[in-house]
Structure 1
Amino acid sequence: MLVLRVASGYNLLVRIIIYSDMLRRGHTGMSLLVSAPFTGLLLAGGFVAEAIVFTGSLLAGGGLPDVDTRVPVVKHRGFLHTVWFGLIYGVLLGIVSLLVLTFLYTNNSIVQSVVDIDSLQWIAVVSGVGGFAGVLSHLLGDMITPWGINPFEPVDDRKVKFELTKASNESSNTALLIVGFVAMIGAFVYGGTHLVGGGGF
């Protein structure tokens, strides 16, 4: 059962990567890179469900800020590309996760067999933190481009940019995706070989 749950999370990562466009691949790679050490530590500690929830929430949050490219009234790399948006999203995601998990637990015997009621709040917190970290990973990815972002706007209007590569650079996006994917594989390997009480996979 444990191996199946980890494999399911791994397959989800692969599907997300395969169906990403070029710009999205760079952000996916950054999200995977940021997530990897935490995912590995959670797995090693025996927190398999939490590791999957954290990684999934982080990946979802990593793509969220660019929603502003599809909404005409919202400025691209504006408020959705700030730390404040990340905090709001993380808190809301944690609250929604708790409500959904509580509802599922009270109405579904299968969920009750997978997780105990005392773990719901912890998993919801992990989900919220993962969402916040995902937005931060997106901001980090945009910071390395010449355009940069204003991560603390409107409190601080200073722009942060490192001008390491253009956002449209295919080689950089692909390289970041590969590095992130390798880091995540390393996290699964580390988590599997150090799994508390499980003797590994």
Structure 2
Amino acid sequence: MYRIGHFGVNAAVAAIFTVLTAPVASMPLRMTAVVVILAFASLPDIDTRFAGMTNHAAVWQRVPVQHRGVTHTVWFALCVGTVTAGAFTFVPWRSQTNLFIVLFIGFTAGFLSVIGHLAGDVITPAGITPLTPLDDTKITLRWCTASNRIANIVFLVGGTILLGVTLSISVITAAVT
């Protein structure tokens, strides 16, 4: 899936996340999580940046990074979640919310940003191996190719609409209460 498709899938993930966390998290905290989920939508594809490096980046030539390798695993999602949980302790409105909830929201936002990306890649024929190196089983649904322009646009538009509706309802609900 291309960047726009991943953004759309993560927008849908962010919409569901916003609804499910409404009872426990403040609006600013949830909006920060939405930004993280959307901003990190293509983070696992950072591995493509390493593929064509020249001698200018000799360090990365020694690191065996392949596309849809380690950055497309549950382990990477757990790492990203852990880092974002720590980062969320520094948000200005953290004092308004219980520390456990802040850590939970931060971890979940980072974790889901990668899981949303993996969901976008699992529908392609290339698939993913999310439990590498413990299990090298490739998972693929083969619904469409990553380059399918229509699928990428459908995910972008559908996810964006879902997130827009969800955020609108959240803002209206917050204003009423």
Counterpart residue type for residue 109 of structure 2: G
What residue identity is the alignment partner of 1:96? A
Change in Cα spacing, 1:153 to 1:115, as seen in structure 2 (3 Å) is: closer
Question: 2:70 corresponds to which residue?
Answer: 79
1:183 corresponds to which residue? 162
How far is 1:90 from its partner? 0.6
* Structure 1 unmatched ranges of 5 or more: 1-21, 102-110
Q: Output the TM-score relative to the length of structure 1.
A: 0.74
Alignment-derived partner of residue 23 in structure 1 = 2
**Contact 2:87–2:106 (Cα < 8 Å) also in 1:** no
How far apart are 1:71 and its partner, in Å?
Answer: 1.1
Specify whether residues 27 and 83 from structure 1 end up closer, same or farther in structure 2 by C-alpha distance, changes over 3 A only.
Answer: same
Deviation at 1:119, TM superposition (A): 4.1
Does the Cα contact within 8 Å between 1:43 and 1:192 map onto a contact in 2?
no
Alpha-carbon distance in structure 1 between the residues aligned to 2:7 and 2:158: 10
TM-score normalised to structure 2 length? 0.83
The equivalent position to 2:26 in structure 1, one of 33, 47, 57, is 47
Picking from 42, 51, 63, the partner of 1:63 is 42
Tell me if structure 2 keeps the 8 A contact 1:44–1:192. no
Secondary structure at the aligned position of 1:58 is classed as helix
SS in 1 for 2:50: coil
Tell me, yes or no, if the aligned pair for 1:86 and 1:132 is still in contact at 8 Å. yes
In structure 2, the residue matched to 1:96 is: 87
| Superposition RMSD in Å | 2.2
In structure 2, list runs of 5 or more residues that go unmatched. 52-63
SS in 2 for 1:171: helix
Identity %: 32
C-alpha contact 1:31 1:62 (8 A) present in aligned 2:
yes
Change (3 A) 1:164 1:149: same
Partners of 2:4 and 2:99 in 1: how far apart?
32
**2:105 matched to which residue of 1?**
126
Q: Give 1:189 shift.
A: 2.4
- The 4+ residue runs of structure 1 with deviation greater than 6 A are none
